[in-house]
Amino acid sequence: MSLFFAGTGGSVPSARRGLPAILIRRGGETILIDCGEGTQRQLIKSVGLLDLDSVWITHFHADHWLGLPGMLKSFGLRERTRPLGVYGPRGLANLMEQTRFVYGRLPYELNVVELDPAESVQGDGYAIAAIPVKHKGEAYGYALIEEPRPGHLDPDLAARLGVEPGPDFGRLQRGETVGSVSPDQVLGPERPGRKIVISGDTSPCESLIVAAHESDVLVHEATFAEDETDRARLTSHSTARQAAEVAREAEVRMLALTHISSRYPGGELCEQARELFAQTEAPRDYDTIEVPFPERGSPKLVRWSERRAREAPSPEPVAAG
C-alpha cells in the first residue's frame, strides 16, 4: 500500500505545490482523497490519470474539490464504463448536481454517497471511516483500516497433523479446514492490518486523535508555522507543532505534513514538528510514502526524484572502437 501526494499545498497553489489530492494505492485499487483544482494535470504529469475506484471529498471548500468535475468529464471522454463512487459529507449530492453543467452526461454510472459522521464504507479487506473534524462547515477526515490477517502457518505442525505440503497449506492459510485440521490448530496469532488516517482541514481535535491511534501513517494538515497559532485557531487550521502533538498523543508510526501554505517552503514546518515528533516528514508534490505490513518494516518516504532514478532504464553500454 502506498500514498502518492498529487498536491500538498493549501488554499492556493504555488509553483511547487498543487492543491490537495492524495492517491492511495492498495493492491489493484486506487482511491483519491480530495481533488483540488489541477489534480488531473498533476496526475498526468507523474503517474498518469489512473482509472480511479473511488473519490472521497473531505469538505466543500473549493481547494478540495474543484478539480473533480473536469476529471469526471475526462473519464467520460476516455469512454470509461466502470461505475465510480464519490463520497463526502452531507451536501455532496447538491454540490454534484450544481456542477453537472461542467461534466454533463457521463457514459458510466456515477454513485454519489453522502456520509454521516463516523459512518464507514466496507471495501475488499478494508473499511474507510468518516472522522468528524473541527473546520468551518461539516468536514471529515478519513481512516482506511485493513482487516486483521491470519497468523503465520506452522508448516512442521501442519505436516505432523497429516497435511500434505502444497495447495492444502494455502487453504489453511486462507482460513479453510483441510480434512480434520482447522486453521486455528496450525496458525499463529492474527496479524494486524495497516491503518492510514488523513485529517483533511482541521484544528487539533480529539476525534482525530482517537481515530489515528497507532496508525501506520497520519497525514495531518500543517497550514501554519508556530508563530501563526492565533491565525490557525481563527481559520480552523493547524500549525505543524499542533499536528505533531496529535501524532504523539495518537502514537502513530509516521506523521506526514500537508496543506502547507504557499508562504512556507516546508522544511521549517517539518523542523518545528520534529521537535515534538521525530518521525515527521513533509512530502512534496509527487512524493510517495510506502506503507508495508508492520512486520516488514516502517513506512518510508520516497522522493519523486529518487523514484524516477530508480525506475529509469539503465543506459546501454557503448561499444568500443
**pLDDT, tens digit (0-9, with 9 covering 90-100), for 242-265:** 999 999 999 999 999 999 998 887
Say how far apart CA 60 and CA 65 lie, in whole Å.
Answer: 7
In the predicted structure, residue 321 carries a pLDDT above the cut 60? no
Confidence at residue 311, expressed as pLDDT on a 0 to 100 scale: 80
In the predicted structure, residue 313 carries a pLDDT above the cut 60? yes
Question: No. of H helices and E strands in the chain?
Answer: 12, 15
3-class secondary structure, 287: coil
Q: Are strands 280-281 and 255-258 parallel, antiparallel or unpaired?
A: parallel
Q: State the pLDDT confidence band at 15, using cuts at 50, 70 and 90.
A: confident
Q: What is the mean pLDDT of the chain?
A: 94
Say how far apart CA 154 and CA 187 lie, in whole Å.
Answer: 6
Average pLDDT over residues 18-33: 96
The one-character DSSP state at 241 is H
pLDDT one-digit tens code per residue, 269-298: 999 999 999 999 999 999 999 999 998 999
Spatial contact of 208 and 239, defined as CB atoms under 8 Å apart: no
Spatial contact of 266 and 256, defined as CB atoms under 8 Å apart: no
3-class secondary structure, 102: helix
Average pLDDT over residues 210-228: 97
In the predicted structure, residue 309 carries a pLDDT above the cut 90? no
C-alpha cell at 62: 473549493
Q: How buried is residue 213: exposed, middle or buried, by Cβ count under 10 Å (0-12/13-18/19+)?
A: middle
Confidence at residue 150, expressed as pLDDT on a 0 to 100 scale: 86
- The more confident residue out of 164 and 131 is 131
Say how far apart CA 78 and CA 70 lie, in whole Å.
Answer: 12
Spatial contact of 220 and 257, defined as CB atoms under 8 Å apart: yes
Confidence at residue 173, expressed as pLDDT on a 0 to 100 scale: 84
- Has this prediction a pTM greater than 0.85? yes
Sign of CA dihedral 214, 219, 223, 224: positive
- The more confident residue out of 13 and 38 is 38
Count the neighbouring beta carbons within 10 Å of the beta carbon of residue 310. 8
Radius of gyration of the chain (CA): 22
Average pLDDT over residues 31-46: 97
* Alpha-carbon distances, residue 296 vs 123, 273, 284, 293 (angstroms): 23, 26, 25, 5
What the chain holds in terms of domains, given with CATH numbers, is 2-149+191-310 (3.60.15.10), 150-190 (no CATH)
Lowest model confidence (mean pLDDT) among 18-32, 225-239, 296-310: 296-310
Say how far apart CA 298 and CA 183 lie, in whole Å.
Answer: 29
Which parts of the chain fold into alpha helices (H)?
39-44, 68-77, 92-98, 100-103, 155-160, 167-173, 183-186, 206-211, 229-234, 240-250, 267-274, 304-311
Confidence at residue 139, expressed as pLDDT on a 0 to 100 scale: 98
C-alpha cell at 266: 516546508
Average pLDDT over residues 296-309: 92
**Identity (one letter) of the amino acid at 274?**
R
Q: Which of 27, 31, 7 is nearest to 19 (CA)?
A: 7
Spatial contact of 217 and 253, defined as CB atoms under 8 Å apart: yes
First to last CA, the chain: 48
Confidence at residue 130, expressed as pLDDT on a 0 to 100 scale: 98
Confidence at residue 65, expressed as pLDDT on a 0 to 100 scale: 98
In the predicted structure, residue 314 carries a pLDDT above the cut 70? no
In the predicted structure, residue 102 carries a pLDDT above the cut 70? yes
* Alpha-carbon distances, residue 243 vs 80, 137, 281, 297 (angstroms): 39, 20, 12, 24
Q: Hey, which residues are catalytic here?
A: 63
Say how far apart CA 287 and CA 44 lie, in whole Å.
Answer: 15
